[in-house]
Each structure stands twice: as structure tokens, then as C-alpha cells.
Amino acid sequence: MKEECKVIFRTSGDVLTAAITGEVDHHGARRIRAKIDEEVMTERPRGLVLDLSRVSFMDSSGIGLILGRFSKASEMGMSFAVSNPSDGTKKILDLAGMDRIVRIVCGKYRDERGEKAV
Amino acid sequence: MKKKNCINSMRVSLPSFSVNESAARAIVSAFVAQLNPTFDELSDIKCAVSEAVTNSTVHGYRNVIGQITIGVRLFDDRSVRIEVKDKGRGIEDVEVAMQPLFTTDPDGERSGMGFTLIENFMDTLAVKSKPGRGTRVVMKKKLSALPVTR
């Protein structure tokens, strides 16, 4: 059964996490894109994390979604990261060379220096 | 060289509603599943189908709804041939359209990585298009040999 693409928001300190679930294709990405942008405009966080741990499918539309949010975050002077992609999602991110453009973090959003990712 | 034989085939036609992108993936993967592909092979095929169908939805039938025809053929050498066809606006220059990051999308939310992902996930990709007539994408992949059972 198809899993609708949804987004759930969490705020921790001044970091907004958008946890994306379901299938991120062109149809799904279109549904959640505006929701994420709206939440960012309302909350005005210092950092934005897209949590991909519960994404069951992603194609190049997901890349577009990530790049679009990254450029908006950059314009607003916010830090940005993508977290916990599954192996399948990671494969797509790697093929698109996303690791050279955005920060991809795994685990508890902390990088190797023990600092928060965003 | 031994000639390969088609052992099963299917054809389905869907209107270009974006909700049908996932339907197309599900139909093709259910059909290909009879060759017992690995989980990774099936994920690759799903993504390739999604990219081709999304191209028809977003570019072929921009602002209109048209039919997208998907044909799948399975062969006895464990290869799969998938064809995605639309009668939409077509592509002016296929070679340019296939370059990584190329997109004609006006709102800038398309990554332009569709054909690049298909090329990575499938063994071959052929795109034929005529402006005003439509686009046909044919992609092939040979599945790995089944593990020997004792």
C-alpha cells in the first residue's frame, strides 16, 4: 500500500526539524514543499534539518526538494542539514553528488567534533 | 550468441496525474517481481520508472493531462525492457536534456537529475523524441543470476 508523503515538525532550541515520511516523488514533494516553507517562515529558526529516516522511496524530485530548501535556508542565513537517510535514499543522494553541496548527518545530528550539526 | 526470448509482457496506460507516478512504480515492480530480482535491483527499477513517468507528467504534458503508456517485457536471460511513452510536447534536443542538472522547470524545484539517475540504475537508456509528437524512453536492465538452490 502506498505511503502518503507527510511532514512532521519538531523544534529543539532554535533548530527546526522537518521529519519527512512516505514516498518522496514529484507528487509527494509538491505536497510537503509549501508546508516546510510555511513552517520556516513562521518559526524563523536558526537551523533547518530535513530528517529522511522515514522516507520509504525517493527519486530526483527529492533532490529538488532538498536543493530548494537548502537555497531558501541559505538566503535566510540559516544553517541546513539532511539527516539519517536510509541506504536506498543515501544511494540517490550520492549519485546526485549531494554530499558535496549539503551536510548529511547520521545519528543524533552531531558531527565528529560533538557539535550540533546545525 | 543465443537469442533471448520474451517470456512475458504487459502494457498499461495511465492518465498523467501525478498520483499515478507511484501507481506506475507499483505496477512495474509487481510485474518484474516474477523474475525474483534482488531488493536493490527492484529499487533501481522503481526509481527509473518514476523518473521516466515524472518526465512525461511534468514536461511532456505540462499543464494538460494526457496518456502515458508503459510497456514491460521480461526475457528468458533475466533481462527486463521497460518502455515509457507519451504523446506530449516532446524534447527539442534530447542530448542536451540528458545532461546532468539540465531542467526546463520554471519554478526551479526540479533537480535535472532524472535521466542521470536512470542511466545509473539501468544498463541502457534510449530516448527518442519529436517536438509536438511525444517522447519514448526505453530502458533495459539484466538482473543478476538467481542463487543456486540445493
How many independent structural domains does chain B possess?
1
Closest-CA residue to B142 (of B52, B67, B28, B32)? B32
pLDDT average, residue stretch B66-80: 98
User: In this structure, what are the phi and psi dihedrals at residue B55, rounded to the nearest 5 degrees?
Assistant: -60, -45
Give the single-character DSSP code of B89. S
One-letter amino acid of B89: R
Find the catalytic residue in B51, B78, B89, B136.
B51
Q: Is B119 a catalytic residue?
A: no
Find the catalytic residue in B73, B81, B83, B110.
B110
What gap in Å lies between CA B110 and CA B102, rounded to an integer? 9
pLDDT average, residue stretch B74-89: 98
Give the model confidence (pLDDT) of B5-58 as tens digits: 999 999 999 999 999 999 999 999 999 999 999 999 999 999 999 999 999 999
CATH code assigned at B79: 3.30.565.10
E strand or H helix at B52, and its extent?
helix B39-55
ipTM rounded to 2 decimals: 0.89
Q: Max alpha carbon distance in chain B (Å)?
A: 57
How far B6 CA lies from chain A's nearest CA (Å)? 29
End-to-end C-alpha distance for chain A, whole angstroms: 35
What gap in Å lies between CA A100 and CA B25, rounded to an integer? 29
Q: What is the pLDDT of residue A106?
A: 87
Residue A108 scores a pLDDT above 70: no
Closest-CA residue to A115 (of A15, A2, A11)? A15
Per DSSP, the residues of A26-70 read: HHHHHHHHHHHHHHHHHH--SEEEEEEEEEEEE-HHHHHHHHHHH
**Percent of residues, chain B, with pLDDT higher than 70:** 97
A61 CB neighbours in chain B (<8 A) are 54, 110-111
What gap in Å lies between CA A43 and CA B48, rounded to an integer? 37
CATH code assigned at A49: 3.30.750.24
Q: Which domain holds residue B44?
A: 6-142
Side by side, the strands of the sheet bearing B134-142 are B6-15, B67-75, B79-86, B134-142, B124-130
Residue A110 resides in a domain: no
Residue B149 resides in a domain: no
- Say yes or no: A43 contacts chain B, CB-CB below 8 A: no
- Say yes or no: B57 contacts chain A, CB-CB below 8 A: yes
Residue A114 resides in a domain: no
Give the model confidence (pLDDT) of A25-72 as tens digits: 999 999 899 999 999 999 999 999 999 999 999 999 999 999 999 999
Contact A3, A25 (CB under 8 A): no
Q: How confident is the model at residue A110 (pLDDT cuts 50, 70, 90)?
A: very low
End-to-end C-alpha distance for chain B, whole angstroms: 29
Q: Which domain holds residue A100?
A: 6-105
How many independent structural domains does chain A possess?
1
Closest-CA residue to A33 (of A2, A59, A72)? A72
Plot region of B78 (φ>0 → left; ψ -120 to 50 → alpha; else → beta): left
